[in-house]
Amino acid sequence: MVTFKAEIERFAEMGEKSGWTYVFIPQAIANEIKADCKKSFRVRGNLDQVDIAGISLVPMGGGDFIMALNATLRKKLKKDLGAVLALALEEDKDFKIEMPEDLQICLADEPHLLKNFLKQPKSHQNWYINWLNSAKTEPTRTKRIVKIVSAMDKGWDFGTMMRDGKPSDRTS
């Protein structure tokens, strides 16, 4: 278990990460958790005595990572922007995200849909599944399944799907 302290930060303008609240994990510490890794991986441990598991460390380039802190986790921590956290982390080798049965049934309707889903990087598959599972109502879950199926039909990754239908920031 690697222990260290980090300050809670927030991105102002950072593309799809704009507004994210996170802690920065420098390359030296990330290497202690998982040596020479340059892509996302899951960790477990605790943040200020709050147990966590299956949380992603997201690469930021140059070997550095961030750990996003969603609102639910920040409420448990009772901390926000500028506060310092005591972290104790190790790689979470046991973490697995299972595909929900309703999504699997819908993707299995057409062979290319499931094939396109399974050729996505594991992190994107997990983002789709987590996004689907975070729906609070059945109508929202149904809309999200439809959106995922449509994205797989077009061969889109998660970011492309999420940007679809949003107004462009570009001016003509």
Per-residue pLDDT 10s for the chain (172 aa) are 999 999 999 988 766 666 789 999 999 999 999 998 888 888 999 999 899 988 889 999 889 999 999 888 999 999 989 999 999 999 998 877 788 999 999 999 888 999 999 998 877 888 899 899 999 999 999 999 999 999 999 999 888 998 887 765 544 4
Distance CA 67, CA 131 (A): 17
Whether this model's pTM surpasses 0.75:
no
DSSP assignment of 9-51 equals EE-SS-GGGTT-EEEEE-HHHHHHHSTT--S-EEEEEEETTEE
Are 117 and 151 in contact by the 8 Å Cβ rule? The answer is no
Q: Do the bridges between strand 2-10 and strand 21-25 make them parallel or antiparallel, or are there none, so unpaired?
A: antiparallel
Amino acid making up residue 98: E
Q: Which domains does the chain have, with CATH numbers?
A: 2-91 (2.40.30.100), 101-163 (no CATH)
Distance CA 120, CA 113 (A): 11
